Amino acid sequence: AAVVRLEDYRPTDYAIDTVDLDFRLDPTATQVTASLAVRRREPSPTQAENPPLILDGDGLKLKQVFVDGRTLSADEYEATPNRFTLHTPPHEPFTLKIVTEIDPENNTALMGLYRSSGVYTTQCEAEGFRRITYFYDRPDVLAVYTVRMEAPRAGTPVMLSNGNLIQSGPVDGSDRHYAVWHDPFPKPSYLFALVAGDLGSIHDEFVTASGRRVRLGIFCEHGKEERCRYAMDALKRSMRWDEEVFGREYDLDVFNIVAVSDFNMGAMENKGLNVFNDKYVLVDAETGTDMDYAHVEGVIAHEYFHNWTGDRITCRDWFQLCLKEGLTVFRDQEFSSDMRSRPVKRISDVIGLRQAQFPEDAGPLAHPVRPTAYREINNFYTATVYEKGAEICRMLKLVLGDEGFRAGMDLYFERHDGGAVTIEDFIECFAEATGRDLTQFSLWYHQAGTPKVTLSHTYDEKAETLSLSLAQELPRTPDNKPKEPQLIPLSFGLVGPDGQDLSWEDVDGPAALGEAGKDALGRGLILLSDKEMNLTFRGVRAEAVPSVLRGFSAPVHLEADLTDDDLFFLARQDTDAFNRWEALQSLARRAILSGYQTLASGGAASFDPRLAAAFAELAENTDFDPAFRALALALPSENEIAQLIAKDVDPDIVYETRQALAGFIGEKSAERIVEAAKREPAMPAYSPDADNAGRRALTFAAWRYQIAAGKARGQDEGTQVRRSFETATNLTERLAALRLLVHENLTGSSAALDAFFERYSDNPLVLDKWFAVQAMQPGHETLKKVEALTQNPAFSWKTPNRVYSLVRTFGAGNPTAFNRPDGAGYHFLANAIADLDKSNPSVASRLATCFRSYRLLEPGRRTHAEAALRALADRPDLSTDVADIVIRTLG
């Protein structure tokens, strides 16, 4: 497929003001009648012929076409499966009526209208609407939709679409019935949705700040209704929060959510009718983990928040995807921070960023948050657009302050409501509302790659000055563009000997401190805008350790000239919780990196005992909530370490080094850590709240060290874990125990796997976890197990959740097995991608991204991975989705 370029954007010749859709639902032959009110945007001089009207299609079968009720003759139009052309449209506004026939049952791509488990569902973002009818399938064509659907009452009692239900009833003289939905808000085609089937539901009500009563519904498979309660609660909290924090009220009489089991993505924000992958709706103590609760809450909020950031104000074109996604992720992160612990949420998000976005930004698939070209838009629903996009909004708030940010948001909502806009429009609102020049700040949207910031510092005791030298470096990315320095906000403090932040009298250097030199939390704020910058703080009364990038104030790599002593000090003393965690992580990273080099050159790794003590101390520190301490006990991931090594990586040695460090900390400190976890008050009944969840997480983090210590001594320390597996009263504990048993290869692991399967054999979402646990078992042998699991009757290549849990987990979450030295892991994945591509290209191309970091590997593995990729690239008939990823990955 051709490359689409931002610079080629131009509006359509015609506007489509209303869309009336009529669906005669049938599993294999659904008839779709679309009546479009079309008019020329800019009337042409009366004599001149109107330009042709060209609409998008994708695999469509045209049955009939009319203009203003008149059947067209064959020479007046041309219809191929992928395009409809009306050669000479009338000058006056006209109605174009198009009848197509589609086959939902055999729509395995799960884009457009499809049917799974007997339920009709749609997924139209980004370009699925064109698989339903011919249309201007692009986000800047906004129309008012009225949708009528008709189906047999038996088997299809529920019929939903966007907006409000305005009519329904039996179809005379038949066993069929119909429903008509009307959405008064003009919207782009990607937000259209329809759901029809035999579904259970729960209902509730929300009264908005201005008194509008909204009926809320969540629909799911029969028998799963009770598992929707938490999602309903999260929805109501989201609705309230958006009123309180962003001043945004809901605008329709109805808000419905549908949970479906076959869904490519997480969820979809269709106006008034959100459609969800059921894993982000269904949750209870027996079938969902603490993490699942948090995800349900976050995704429910995310899709709801899109109502304003996405639906009421949408994107002009798909290059602007981050306009809605980055901003909406930022909003859902803020919501979760308010619902739970802010530092814990921030740390989790940064772990996610380092796990998913930094590697993308450092590899062949790197792209700016606002890209300028794409071959396949489906491939741009990336961590960069979403997570780095959210980081930009967070920085904007930091740089402008809370009030400035809110003023900009208010202006954005007021000015662009009902519009389809660009990132420039968004940024302009903040510039205008605050009078700030955001030109340099905007580079965050346009330059790919993670900036590297270096910091060195000196203290002059006599002069009482502390000098900081800062520099930024922007890496080269696949676009090879020369880069300008970015505006990097660095929250910081100067930590004095007693752990309190020292003040200073004045600062020498460019006007580099944020407005008042402080961020919204009262921390110092440096705006690093040049390539290099020197700052001298005067009147610093004692020697201080700079604590920089507090709260992870910018998505950068920071290299500071801090000694291990400095880091131990910060890990103990920093008033910024994030940097306490980060200091300990930095020490662990240093330890693993140097251990890796030693092991790689045939030596035996040794570690600093102070590190083990620091871990114990943090575990014991009850100033922090248990969730924070649990996070602080986790070592940097193998993938994170591989990214830092960056060259000739041997994943087996990475794994070994990381295990060795865990064993070392365990031997020295497991007892203290386990005792600390035990001292937490016992939990009454299971509750998914952050405090309870944190205590469970702390216990398992402690056991991990106990087991690691046992292993280092050659003993099986799995007794408690086995007991916990047997006596667990909730899935969180049962699964955490299973994971430890399997990943640490402890006695009883296979019996536990069998028991778990038995218990949950009728629950696909829990079985996904069973597949994932096994797919992540370290070691070369796991490949065989994964291959065998693809034959398990509970596995299906047709269901995205199954494929993700087994195959993507293997490719993205198991470095030692996927990167087997013989390359068999790569060939397994490449074959899976090729097979899957025939039925579901979106899922196949997501699997293909597992290869994105192959160039970091040592030459043997690199060669194997490249061979697997080349073999894939040579396959005939690859989808655009997969071809695009493979070609870019090979570079």
Query: Would you please indicate which residues are annotated as catalytic (active-site) residues?
Result: 303
Q: How far is residue 558's CA from residue 543's CA, in Å, rounded to a whole number?
A: 21
Q: Which does 268 bind (CB under 5 to 8 A by kind): Zn ion, ligand DPP, none?
A: ligand DPP
267's contact among Zn ion, ligand DPP, none, with CB below 5 to 8 A by partner kind, is: ligand DPP
Q: Which does 284 bind (CB under 5 to 8 A by kind): Zn ion, ligand DPP, none?
A: none
The one of ligand DPP, Zn ion, none whose footprint includes residue 704, by CB under 5 to 8 A per kind, is: none
Closest distance to ligand DPP from the beta carbon of 330 (Å): 13
**Min CB(141)–ligand DPP separation in Å:** 18
Give the SS3 label for residue 452. Answer: strand
Rounded least distance, CB 250 to ligand DPP, Å? 17
Q: Which is nearer to ligand DPP, 265 or 395 (CB)?
A: 265
CB of 383 to ligand DPP, least distance (A): 12
Nearer to ligand DPP, 310 or 493 (CB): 310
Minimal distance, residue 46 CB to ligand DPP, in Å:
43
Stretch that binds ligand DPP, among 300-308, 509-517, 525-533, 597-605 (CB under 6 A): 300-308
**Beta carbon nearer to Zn ion, 380 or 810:** 380
Applying CB under 6 A, among 265, 323, 395, 807 the residue interacting with ligand DPP is 265
Collapsing DSSP states into helix, strand and coil, what is residue 836?
A: helix
Nearer to ligand DPP, 125 or 262 (CB): 125
| Interface segment toward ligand DPP; rule CB under 6 A; list 105-113, 192-200, 266-274, 660-668 | 266-274
Contact in structure between 214 and 252 (CB atoms under 8 Å): yes
Decide if residue 125 touches ligand DPP (CB under 6 A).
Answer: yes
Residues in Cβ contact with 296 at an 8 Å cutoff, skipping those fewer than 6 apart: 230, 231, 234, 280, 281, 283, 288
Neighbours of 46 (CB within 10 A): 6
Q: For 676-688, give the DSSP string.
A: HHHTSPPP-S---
Q: Which is nearer to ligand DPP, 314 or 585 (CB)?
A: 314
Q: Is 268 in the site for ligand DPP (CB under 6 A)?
A: yes
- CB 773, CB 739: distance < 8 Å: yes
> Binding-site residue total for ligand DPP (CB under 6 A)?
9
- Minimal distance, residue 324 CB to Zn ion, in Å: 6
Site for Zn ion in 312-341 (CB under 5 A): 325, 328
Q: Which residues have CB under 8 Å from 841's CB, separation 6+? A: 109, 378, 879, 880, 881, 882
For 561-582, b/e burial (b = at least 16 CB within 10 A) is: ebeeebbbbbbebbebbbbbbb
267 makes contact with ligand DPP (CB under 6 A)? yes
Q: How many residues bind Zn ion (CB under 5 A)?
A: 2
Work out whether 79 is an interface residue with ligand DPP (CB under 6 A): no
What residue is closest to ligand DPP based on CB?
265
Q: Which of ligand DPP, Zn ion, none does residue 265 bind (CB under 5 to 8 Å by kind)?
A: ligand DPP
Q: Which residue's CB is nearer to Zn ion, number 111 or number 707?
A: 111
With tokens 């395009």, the residue in question is 83
303 binds ligand DPP, rule: CB under 6 A: yes
Q: Rounded to whole angstroms, how far apart are CA atoms 452 and 165?
A: 53
Closest approach, Cβ 800 to Zn ion, in A, equals 17
Identify what 733 binds: ligand DPP, Zn ion, none; CB under 5 to 8 Å per kind: none
Tell me the DSSP string of 124-140: -TTTTGGGTS-B--STT
Beta carbon nearer to ligand DPP, 303 or 866: 303
Instruction: Give the nearest distance from C-beta 302 to Zn ion in angstroms.
Output: 6
Which stretches within 745-823 are classed as H helix? 749-759, 764-775, 782-789, 800-803, 809-813, 815-818
Minimum Å gap between C-beta 306 and ligand DPP is: 6
Of these partners, ligand DPP, Zn ion, none, which one is at the site of residue 125 (CB under 5 to 8 Å by kind)? ligand DPP
CA nearest 745: which of 781, 700, 769, 788? 781
Instruction: Confirm or reject binding of residue 325 to ligand DPP (CB under 6 A).
Output: yes
For position 26 contacting ligand DPP by CB under 6 A, the verdict is no
Q: Kindly state whether residue 196 participates in binding ligand DPP, applying the rule CB under 6 A.
A: no
User: Tokens 């131990």 map to which residue?
Assistant: 568
The smaller minimum CB distance to ligand DPP, of residues 330 and 569, is found at 330
331 binds, among ligand DPP, Zn ion, none (CB under 5 to 8 A by kind): none
CB 628 within 8 A of CB 681: no
CA–CA distance from 452 to each of 163, 494, 543, 558, 592 (Å)? 47, 21, 26, 6, 21
Which residues, including other chains, have CB under 8 Å from residue 94's CB and lie 6 or more apart?
38, 39, 67, 68
Q: Which is nearer to ligand DPP, 267 or 282 (CB)?
A: 267
| Residue 317 touching ligand DPP (CB under 6 A) | no
Describe the chain by its helix, strand, coil percentages, rounded to 5: 45, 20, 35
CB of 297 to ligand DPP, least distance (A): 15
**269 touches ligand DPP (CB under 6 A):** yes
Q: At what angle do helices 690-713 and 651-678 cross, to 10 degrees?
A: 120
- Taking residue 470's Cβ as centre, other Cβ atoms within 10 Å add up to 24
Main-chain dihedrals φ then ψ at residue 810, nearest 5 degrees: -60, -45
Distance in angstroms (rounded) separating the CA atoms of residues 701 and 696: 9
Find out whether 511 and 574 touch, Cβ atoms under 8 Å.
no
868's CB contacts (< 8 A; 6+ apart) are 823, 826, 827, 829, 830, 851
Nearest to 620 by CA among 684, 708, 702: 702
Pairing of strands 273-277, 267-268: antiparallel
Each residue 687-726 as x (binds ligand DPP by CB under 6 A) or -, in order, gives ----------------------------------------
Collect all residues with Cβ–Cβ distance below 8 Å to 259 and sequence separation of at least 6.
218, 219, 220, 221, 224, 228, 276, 277, 278, 280, 281, 282
Which residue, 314 or 819, has its beta carbon nearer to Zn ion? Answer: 314
In the complex, which residues of this chain contact Zn ion (CB under 5 A)? 325, 328
In the complex, which residues of this chain contact ligand DPP (CB under 6 A)? 125, 265, 267-269, 302-303, 306, 325
